[in-house]
Chain A
């Protein structure tokens, strides 16, 4: 029983991290029809920002974390402004290749930066994340409690933003009809910047929490979580925000449960995840909650 509960909590923790990353994929796809390949690397950078701020500038952890969210969010906005916006009218494939280029750039920056380097770095994890709580015979680490709580707060905040505010209304409108949204008096570029700001900020929260759970920093740490979160976004129905959250939790749970109860298969976990991705792309490309997307003109 205790094991089940433990594993369930682990699954929810991992799932909430995937959900946080998946949002950025799905929001950007909904608006630009772009799979933002650089998103996983933006997530990776958030961990490095914490590292830089704590180790080089000696900021207290929580302050470093807040600054890291802000810096990562601005990074996302800058990437859109510099790399994607000039290609708004270009063929979709040019945009996709540019996104891959940005991804390589972000990864290689970490490799060449003198304070980061190609070598693994220890992530500065705060004490409250590593503390062990005991309830009966269930032992729970701080991360297992805090990660889902912080993630849930962020996701609720996002739902409020998207469904209850003016800019959120414009984000949903752009996703179906960019030109008509402009006719409503909305500055499209500004709304798109907000989208990147929000998506990157959530990825940053994910990256910071990810570091608390897997406290090693390396240039390629965003790649696999990025792909898994992308799979989560596809499972939920790409373009659908609630779907991305659902997909994230389902994927995280599935992954942990497979590893925990079918340890023989744990070596195949990525193979299984991509099998799920291929299955959905073949048989249910609109995901669990998505609707068929009309190609935007």
Chain B
């Protein structure tokens, strides 16, 4: 479904991505693991059109995303819950969610998805009329994920959804992801928290300083020495 081939991205003189390739098949949960600065966020930003790669191809169902602007990419079927949540603090929870559906005109579908995200994160329903900035960190992360879902994406991109959350909230978040997976949604999940991500994902990639150094089915990656030593701490 989503194919990334030989992606090279430069920031000034820094060669941030050095030939990253990955694919996200329909209905799969794929995770991209790596330490801080490995290039995970850069990969997602390149896919969403926020940075322009110097080389490489990105295609969604055969349609090239290179050179397209972010709003066009959203309309083609990708949406992202960005790193650091980036919710709109002055807008209410409901307004944040409706912005997520900006590109859509199917009012029935928007209403259906709104009740779906409220069932996924009931706490957002309770805080519907509250300003986004008044939410706790965990609630803001729920809002960021819910807002991305409101675009009814073919592929949901999640950038470190567990960052800075208490363990109990991480569990809650991943329970919601598991429900999305059961529904057959396609997810590209970027994480530092390899344990959580590999327990959910079907397939994984490990990124180090801009290169993919390992890939495979999640169950195999979990057992590999590289991942066990570097990311699971065993």
Contact = CB atoms under 8 A, between A and B. Distances in A.
Contacts of A184: 74, 99-100, 102-103, 147, 151
Interface stretch (A19-27, A117-125, A133-141, A164-172): A164-172
Given A170-B102, A173-B88, A183 B95 contact: no
B19 interface: no
Interface residues of B, number: 24
A176 B71 contact: no
A108 interface: no
A145 interface: no
Contacts of B53: none
Interface residues of A, number: 17
B98 interface: yes
Secondary structure at the A interface, as helix, strand, loop or mixed, is helix
A167 to B, nearest CB: 9
A185 B82 contact: no
B79 interface: yes
Nearest to B72: A187
A91 B114 CA distance: 40
Interface in B86-132: 86, 88-91, 95, 98-100, 102-104
Given A182-B69, A183-B79, A186-B71, A176 B102 contact: no
Interface in A131-182: 166, 169-170, 172-173, 176-177, 179-182
Interface string A59-92: 0000000000000000000000000000000000
B137 interface: no
Contact of A172 (B50, B90, B102, B147): B90
Contacts of A187: 69, 71
A142 to B, nearest CB: 40
B29 interface: no
Given A169-B91, A173-B88, A176-B88, A182 B71 contact: yes
Contact of A179 (B50, B75, B98): B50
B91 A173 contact: yes
Interface string B67-83: 00111001100011010
B99 A170 contact: yes
B137 to A, nearest CB: 17
Secondary structure at the B interface, as helix, strand, loop or mixed, is loop
Contacts of B79: 183, 185
Nearest to A291: B90
A260 interface: no
B102 A185 contact: yes
B142 interface: no
B233 to A, nearest CB: 33
B71 A180 contact: no
Nearest to A189: B69
Contacts of B71: 182, 185-188
A262 B70 CA distance: 57
B201 interface: no
A180 B75 contact: no
B48 interface: yes
A88 to B, nearest CB: 13
Nearest to B74: A185
Nearest to A182: B70
Interface string B45-69: 0001010000000000000000001
B45 to A, nearest CB: 9
Contact of B98 (A169, A177, A180): A169
A169 B70 contact: no
A169 B97 CA distance: 11
A169 B89 contact: no
Q: Which 5 A-B pairs have the closest CB atoms?
A: A185-B103, A185-B74, A182-B70, A180-B86, A185-B102
15 contacts: A166-B102, A169-B95, A172-B90, A172-B91, A177-B86, A179-B70, A182-B70, A183-B48, A183-B50, A183-B82, A184-B102, A184-B147, A185-B75, A185-B151, A186-B99
Interface of B: 48, 50, 69-71, 74-75, 79-80, 82, 86, 88-91, 95, 98-100, 102-104, 147, 151
Interface of A: 166, 169-170, 172-173, 176-177, 179-188
